[in-house]
């Protein structure tokens, strides 16, 4: 659960956001992060320290390698959630998704769509519960299989005005 401002600040930096996405695959060393992200070891060490101080990354293990010590860093949780009453949570997650979203490759379908539903509060809660169940059924992160895709699921109250009922409804299209 993301609660502290330092956590939002840590995840708000594009380099640290990318590091978190890499670490979702498995724990990694600074050398491995350097190879994946194409940045210097010193730069990544700084960003790992910020994530550790925010409580988002932990030291998972150390190994002795050729007279030195190799440290493996891991996320403290597979996913992060924001409290339901957080004002910044949804906007933060949507921005993060937009920042990492790549355009479709040539010949590849775009899987992004927006749909509006008119639901009662009870129906909205039931749908949100079903969406959470679907998330739990997805395969674990395995970078050896295919390409990375992001899944952003949000059920939000939309600011769309409602029309009053039509006093003289138009005839249905098949009634001529």
Quickly count: other Cβ atoms within 10 Å of residue 126's Cβ.
Answer: 12
**Which residue intervals of 87-164 are DSSP H helices?**
89-100, 121-137
CATH assignment of 5-100+114-137, among 3.40.1440.10, 3.40.50.300, 2.130.10.10, 1.10.10.10:
1.10.10.10
Q: Residue 132 corresponds to which tokens in the numbers above?
A: 């959470």
pLDDT digits (tens, 9 = 90+) for 90-136: 777 788 788 888 888 888 877 788 888 889 999 999 998 888 888 76
- Name the DSSP class of 174: G
**What are the tens digits of pLDDT across the range 14-23?**
899 899 989 9
The pTM (predicted TM-score) of the whole model is: 0.68
């Amino acid at each position: 659960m993301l609660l502290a401002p330092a956590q939002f600040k840590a995840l708000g930096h594009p380099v640290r956001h990318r590091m978190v996405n890499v670490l979702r695959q498995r724990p990694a060393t600074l050398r491995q992060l350097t190879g994946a992200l194409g940045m210097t070891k010193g730069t990544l060490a700084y960003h790992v320290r910020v994530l550790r101080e925010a409580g988002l990354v932990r030291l998972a293990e150390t190994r002795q390698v050729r007279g030195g010590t190799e440290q493996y860093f891991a996320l403290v949780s597979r996913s992060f959630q924001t409290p339901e009453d957080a004002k910044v949570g949804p906007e933060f997650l949507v921005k993060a998704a937009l920042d990492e979203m790549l355009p479709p490759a040539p010949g590849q379908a775009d899987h992004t769509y927006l749909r509006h539903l008119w639901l009662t509060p009870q129906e909205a809660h039931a749908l949100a519960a079903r969406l959470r169940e679907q998330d739990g059924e997805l395969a674990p992160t395995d970078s050896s299989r295919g390409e990375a895709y992001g899944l952003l699921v949000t059920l939000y109250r939309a600011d769309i005005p409602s029309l009053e009922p039509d006093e003289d409804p138009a005839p249905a299209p098949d009634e001529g």
